[in-house]
Amino acid sequence: MNNGRGPAQVEDTNGPQQWYASLPFVTRNWFTAAVLGTVLANFGVIPVDKIYYSYEIVKDEFEIWRLFTNFFFMGSFELGTLIQIYLLYQYSMNYEANSGFNTGGGGGTADFIFMLVFGMIGLLVTGTLFSLGPFYGSQLVNYVMYIWCKRDPTAQVNIWGFPIQAMYLPFALLILQVFMGNPYILTLQGYAIGHVYYFLAEVLPKVNATMVLHTPQFLISKFGVGEYVQPRPANGMDAVAGGGGGRPAAAANNTGGGHNW
């Protein structure tokens, strides 16, 4: 499988530790949370009934952690769950390793975190209004995938050996789900929230010169402009002077990238 090109592929990935360390900051943490949440819940270490989202429980019992934990359980141990976790890794890395939509942080890490928070809020609000289910991890993956396709529409992707451009990927996956008899409403939910973000972050500023979405300054202050690179421990030649911070947006240009299924 061909992954998206970006900083994550520049470093040595000969072993699992090197591969994991080479992942972009948000992708690495989101991927880790999803794997741990799914594994621990399936083994009963974390009770599933303590992590799903319920508006009534959050409101009446103030169990606010449910606003976050529901995104990190991807399902029971089955092939579909493994595919969802892989897609999380793939699309998150493709988007983060290249310059994303700029809402104040140069299209880098701060903007990506803000984008995820926007998606989480949108999914929870629409899920509450339309009673769409207690877990929203797969919808968040579809949300990021949709936005990546809008950001890099001409990237080449393959579905079962058939090459298509990324702009057609969401529709192709939706058609496959319909033909396979799988539920598609949750997929549409992720697409819909993704399109709202795309419209507010990219279309509206070009049409009306109006910036509606602004990444909070505290995120930009924390992660800088461009891609955030964590400081490495001081260890000989690997020591990084001055700590971490953001790279200039120019260092994370949208170079595109393909994805083969």
| Tens-place pLDDT, residues 143-157 | 999 999 999 999 999
> What is the predicted pLDDT for the residue at 183?
83
> What is the predicted pLDDT for the residue at 233?
59
* Residues 24, 10 contacting (CB under 8 angstroms): no
Distance, in Å, from the CA atom of 10 to the CA atom of 1, rounded to the nearest integer, reads 17
User: How does the average pLDDT of the chain come out, rounded?
Assistant: 86
Q: Is the pTM of this model over 0.95?
A: no
Q: What does the pLDDT average to over 12-23?
A: 84
* Residues 70, 58 contacting (CB under 8 angstroms): no
The answer on pLDDT for 89 being more than 80 is yes
| Tens-place pLDDT, residues 168-222 | 999 999 998 888 887 899 999 999 999 999 999 999 999 998 899 999 999 999 9
CB atoms within 10 A of CB 79: 7
